[in-house]
Amino acid sequence: MRELCLSIPNSRRALFLAIGGGGDIILTTVLALSYERCGGIAFIGGIVWERYVVDPIPGPIPLSDFRNVDTEHHNYIAVNPESYAIRNGNIIIPQIVRVSKVINRRMYVFDIHSGPKTLADALRHFINLEKIDYVVGVDVGGDSIATGFEESLWSPLADAISVAALAHINNAYLALASPGADGELDVEYILARISRLARFNGLIGGYVLGHKDAELLETLVRDSVSEASRAALKAFKGEYGVLDIRSGSRKANISPLSLVVFILDATIVARDSVARFIYDASSIAEARSILNAMNIYTELDLEEDLYEEILNGKRIDEINLYDIRKKGRQRLALRHFIDGPKIT
């Protein structure tokens, strides 16, 4: 039986980019190696923004915090199995390094601190250097196609900056993998959003994970921290239902749909998602400020609120994520009410 593989027409070399940070690099790697089974040459990279259980310091890890890197360029670096980061005096092993160690190959870390345009410039540099035909941004769960105003949306910022950056370059796709696996947007809502994008010719195609993908996925998740990327593996083994994740603050859907990857036009996604609001932001701080002014609470806000609790002496396992988010959103709504809404 011929094994499934991910084919991109008119493409020989592609960069697969984990756009949400943290564990997204796992399914990004699975898709990249599937592409190689179809005869392409894949490069694997991502945004490194670890979950608070790995790195409690708020925000993505700056490139300057990495050690033992192979090469450094403008706003991106190459890491290897021996790379690590130093955060507030502590050694952090990002998920991208853990995956690099498993597959024993160089991977690339791109920085989002300077906003979408600068990230796009870094991607263009990489595209020209490595003669890349397509960039495929990979999002596990579906935050990347959110409008920004969904009640269940927890982490719009990294995805929005990354999608906006993809929209700034040519030949960029967005691969939305395992809808609902991150426990944020409802699966039915995600499918409705994809249908809307399809009406704008934004749906390019899709892919279903197969045996080879599941075997690799099982190997990668052993030494990595990612709940969302495990959804596909659980589904492949026949699990079905709702799973509590993120310390019980969210519920992920496990079903055969967890094996599906929707390929979307990144430019069309950017025009109809939260990315459009921060398309020209000059930094992550400005992007966050724009969203806050629209009463949108981001993952950076959440992490800062969490870190304040930690500094006040609370252990991570004592902190109720849902309560932290609720208080943060109430505080933001009060400020929004006092300052007045942003007209867009």
- The first and second tokens of residue 151, run together, are 């009640």
pLDDT at 2: 65
Cβ within 8 Å of residue 215, ≥6 positions away: none
In terms of domains, do 326 and 268 share one?
no
Statement to judge: residues 274 and 300 lie in one domain: no
CATH of the domain at 238: 3.40.50
The reply to whether 80 falls in a domain is: yes
pLDDT for residue 98: 95
Indicate the residue among 245, 280, 315 that finishes a domain.
Answer: 280
Cα distance between residue 222 and residue 213, in whole Å: 15
Query: What's the pTM?
Result: 0.93
Q: Which of 262, 280, 298 is the last residue of a domain?
A: 280
Asked if residue 213 and residue 66 are part of one domain, the reply reads yes
- In the structure, what pLDDT confidence band is assigned to residue 21 with cuts at 50, 70 and 90? confident
- Same domain, yes or no: 217 and 87: yes
pLDDT at 250: 63
Q: Does residue 286 surpass a pLDDT of 90?
A: yes
Helix (H) or strand (E) holding 15: strand 13-18
Residue 29 lies in a domain: yes
Looking at the fold, whether 263 and 309 belong to one and the same domain comes out as no
Does residue 260 lie in a domain region? yes
111 falls within a domain: yes
Counting the structural domains of the chain, the total is 2
Looking at the structure, tell me whether residues 132 and 173 fall in a common domain.
yes
Q: Residue written as tokens 């991910």? A: 6
Range of the domain at 267: 13-280
Give the distance from CA 303 to its chain's centroid: 16
pLDDT score of 321 more than 90: no
Mark whether 245 and 308 lie in a shared domain.
Answer: no
Q: Judge whether 7 lies within some domain.
A: no
- Strands 76-79 and 241-245 come out as unpaired
- Higher-pLDDT residue of 155 and 194 is 194
Q: How far apart are CA 272 and CA 252, in angstroms?
A: 24
Least confident of 30-39, 47-56, 218-227: 218-227
Tell me the percentage of the chain whose pLDDT exceeds 90: 73
Say whether both 224 and 335 belong to one domain: no
326 and 214 in one domain? no
> Is 4 a domain residue?
no
